[in-house]
């Protein structure tokens, strides 16, 4: 089965991790309800990288931050586009009192991309 992945990497202040986790749980529920196949939010546990560039160095995180790696899996890009359109209209994601300046992370430092599956099912 072809799959399409939306991937994210972002620095999150460690003190904001509980608020971020709460927001991620809401996102998990919403994306799956609208048809995503899988939704994962992962927090950095090991960043040893003697042979490569690590996420903290690559995203230039501060000592007070941790890294979140997240991905959402869809059946296809067409499904991703359809599902994301529904998600963006869902009032649970952006309630009327939503203020992007009060996010538990800096949106301008988030890395994002949509990916076609190269290997795997």
CATH code, domain carrying 9: 3.30.70.100
Per the structure, the count of domains in the chain is 1
- Which is more confident, 68 or 51? 68
**CB neighbour class for 20 (10 Å; exposed up to 12, middle 13-18, buried from 19):** buried
- The pLDDT assigned to 2 comes to 65
- The pLDDT assigned to 107 comes to 86
Decide if pLDDT at 81 tops 80. Answer: yes
What is the extent of the structural domain holding 75?
Answer: 4-47+55-116
37 within some domain? yes
Q: Which of 21, 15, 74, 60 is nearest to 43 (CA)?
A: 21
> Helices marked H in the chain — which ranges?
17-33, 55-59, 77-89
Decide if pLDDT at 28 tops 90. Answer: yes
pLDDT tens by residue, 29-62: 999 999 999 999 999 999 887 889 999 999 999 9
């Amino acid at each position: 089965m072809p799959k399409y992945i939306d991937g994210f990497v972002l620095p999150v202040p460690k003190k904001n991790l509980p608020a971020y986790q709460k927001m991620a749980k809401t996102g998990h529920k919403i994306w799956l309800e609208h048809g995503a196949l899988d939704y994962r939010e992962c927090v950095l546990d090991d960043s040893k990288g003697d042979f490569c560039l690590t996420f903290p160095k690559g995203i230039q995180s501060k000592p007070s931050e941790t890294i979140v790696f997240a991905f959402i899996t869809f059946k296809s890009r067409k499904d991703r586009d359809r599902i994301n359109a529904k998600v963006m209209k869902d009032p649970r994601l952006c309630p009327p009192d939503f203020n992007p300046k009060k996010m538990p992370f800096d949106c301008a430092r988030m890395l994002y991309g949509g990916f076609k599956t190269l290997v795997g099912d």
